[in-house]
A and B are shown apart, each in its own frame.
With several copies, the nearest count.
Chain A
Amino acid sequence: MKMFQKILVANRGEIAVRVIRACHELGIAAVAVFSEVDRAALHVQRADEAYPIGPAPAAESYLNIERILDAAKKSGADAIHPGYGFLSENPNFARACAKAGFKFIGPPPSAMEAMGSKTRARQNMEQAGVPFVPGTAKGLRSAEEAEQLATKLGFPVMLKAAAGGGGKGMRLIDKAAELPSAFEAARSEASRAFGDDEVYLEKAIVNPRHIEMQVLADQHGNTVYLGERDCSIQRRHQKVVEEAPSPAVSPEMRRRMGEIAVRAAQAVGYTNAGTIEFLADEDGNFYFLEMNTRLQVEHPVTELITGLDLVQLQIRIAAGQPLPFRQEDIHLRGHAIECRVYAEDPENNYFPSPGQITSLTEPSGPGIRLDSGIYPGWNVPVDYDPLLAKLIGYAASREQAVGRLRRALDEYYVGGIKTNLPLFRHVFEDADFLAGKANTGFLSRFASRPQPAPPRREEEIAVIGAGIFQALTGGATSSKNSDEPHSGPSAWKQSAREEALS
């Protein structure tokens, strides 16, 4: 099969820029699509062609299959890369692409479907010998049944809503005495939240890590794994820091996990890039969570330790080329850590902070990779997720990679909007993180620890600097509106899990 001449990128932000770069590096023209608020976005500037696809709301633009295919037809593209999020895991989109004559750069729709539904995925994976958290996948009839089973599994156990997601209807149970009341509470919560009171039981994984395995499969029967990523550092189920390799994975565990991931992919006829997510306990046991049938946000850490380009390989695989290496050719070298830079305010409960970027200094230099979707002057829209850029540090050792990220964070400045950059500075000074001990509870425990106060002398410099700026701009008096009390307490919840980045 011939290599593509032109690829349409059905996405926005940093990942659209990332895919456009891969196209250009392969000598392929890249086509952008944009919603009304994205006319001036970086991916539009970087593409060879760009077409409007509708108003700001994603449902009317980036999720609108018809408009995206119209743009593809207008441009004469021969393939479509979906990025992550939006339509990337939608088998109907993959089918519509094929029907309209565009190669979809991703797995076959059948594999997406086999992994897309929880129950079908579990069935397929159990047949392939993929380990699951011990428990019942089916509903419990009574508290007594739950107690019997829990005793067999061993405490602690977790009650979960069958229809669930997002923590609703979930209960951690440490001993048998807690079961009866927890069973009733979970059922009624599940009923209220999902209109379905079915609950089931799993062994609770204490201090779990979120570890995922990258696989790559061509259309000629070759499937390889490229090592794991540790994505344990999350906030509100959103990954914040990822690294490869995981400090908790031995070469032997990596091999086992990799071989199981390859089996899982093969069991559903998978091709292209995919990721199997696992939950790992402190003893090195790991259990299947789900498969992401697309490129991951955090793919760069794998690229850095393998020396490969996953997006270029995705394109080659979709064009029908065989993988240019075998499992034994893949050697991991060094350590890579990624920081997801979000437009959010760490001093205000990590609220979103869209708006105009008035000033921007980006880090570079040895061992620093920046995959960014912003530029000075860009107005970060309120309509999409808050990921601005990914800062990735790579070095021979984990300690050295952390050192590089620390100095890169010192160089990084985003003016005009708030970002979570200060959070990373604190994470990279944390003893637990440095010891490689961070699990999925890290950030919530971390937030409550006191942060070091800035040095006194810097404060005096800030006072002087403020005065000089005032003097330079003509001494006009300005003041901050602080005459109003803050609004009442507020609570956050995550919307639309379908669009969540993982």
Chain B
Amino acid sequence: MRFQVLISGKTHELELTQAQDAWDCSVDGHSVVIDVREVSPGVLSILRDGKSYLVRQGPNQTITVGEHSYEVSIADPRSWRSRQLTSGSTAGPQRLKASMPGKVVRILTTQGAQVKAGQGIVVIEAMKMQNELRSPRDGKISSILVQEGKAVIAGEVVAVVE
């Protein structure tokens, strides 16, 4: 199996071959000898040159090695190319998104209003903390997509500034 793995801003070529209990493995062309055991679902014990690593799989492509967590994107080469094309569209209307799950406690402006960069648009509350979402730029509020009292999830678009 071949993968491209994106981690800390760099892409690595990974090749894996399962041979009985062991994995033959190469990273960016150099061979890595490891002994792997899945000790519980989502937890690997990996030995490499005697060093013992506990590797955990979290949600959202998080991989934890010992105490360090990494966000990892993984793809096989076919799908890789297409995904790279989709990134980084910063032009056009700016969508204001909730930074974390919570409830909308206040809406500080109205649809159609002119706003300045940094001006508060929506206040979200979670776990007794309030988070004010501010406009990323000067512009006009083209739509507000939430109501006061509504629950939002992280990343949900709450308003659009154009």
Contact = CB atoms under 8 A, between A and B. Distances in A.
Complex: A in contact with B (CB within 8 Å):
yes
Contacts of B103: 382
B133 to A, nearest CB: 6
Interface in B13-61: 14, 16, 18, 23, 25, 27, 32, 34-48, 50-61
Q: Which of A457, A463, A480, A485 has the most CB of B within 10 A?
A: A463
Contact of B128 (A384, A472, A490): A384
Given A351-B131, A463-B72, A487 B32 contact: no
Interface string A456-475: 01111111111111111001
Interface size class of B (residues with CB under 8 A): 35 or more
Interface stretch (A90-98, A110-118, A352-360, A397-405): A352-360
A482 interface: yes
Interface stretch (A180-188, A222-230, A328-336, A410-418): A410-418
Contacts of A455: 68
A454 B68 contact: yes
Interface string A323-354: 00000000000000000000111001101111
A485 B27 CA distance: 30
Interface string A13-26: 00000000000000
A377 interface: yes
A416 B127 CA distance: 17
Contacts of B44: 465, 468-469
Given A382-B127, A482-B87, A461 B1 contact: no
A354 B126 contact: yes
A45 B115 CA distance: 50
Contacts of B37: 39-40
Nearest to B119: A488
B129 A488 contact: no
A375 interface: yes
Contact of A465 (B57, B75, B79): B57
A90 B53 CA distance: 32
Contacts of A459: 7-8, 65, 70
Nearest to B42: A359
Given A415-B56, A487-B136, A382 B61 contact: no
A461 B73 contact: no
A484 interface: yes
Nearest to A417: B59
A304 to B, nearest CB: 24
Interface residues of A, number: 82
A127 interface: no
Q: Which of A48, A378, A469 has the most CB of B within 10 A?
A: A469
Contacts of B70: 454, 459, 462
Nearest to A425: B67
Nearest to B79: A477
A479 B58 contact: no
A45 B70 CA distance: 19
Nearest to B18: A471
B86 to A, nearest CB: 5
A49 B45 CA distance: 11
Nearest to B129: A352
A359 B58 contact: yes
A370 interface: no
B22 to A, nearest CB: 11
A31 B37 CA distance: 18
Nearest to A351: B100
A493 B130 contact: yes
27 contacts: A39-B37, A40-B37, A40-B39, A343-B127, A345-B100, A352-B127, A359-B43, A378-B39, A382-B103, A386-B128, A422-B67, A422-B69, A459-B8, A460-B32, A461-B46, A461-B53, A462-B55, A462-B65, A464-B27, A464-B32, A465-B63, A469-B63, A471-B18, A478-B74, A487-B97, A492-B129, A494-B130
Ranked nearest first, the 8 interchain pairs of A and B with the lowest CB-CB distance are A488-B136, A465-B55, A377-B40, A352-B127, A454-B68, A386-B127, A352-B126, A487-B97
Interface of A: 31-32, 39-40, 44-45, 47-51, 74-75, 343-345, 348-349, 351-355, 358-359, 375-378, 382-386, 409-410, 413, 415-416, 422, 425, 454-455, 457-472, 475, 477-496, 499-500
Interface of B: 1, 3, 5, 7-8, 12, 14, 16, 18, 23, 25, 27, 32, 34-48, 50-61, 63-76, 79, 83, 86-90, 94-103, 117-118, 120, 125-137, 151, 155
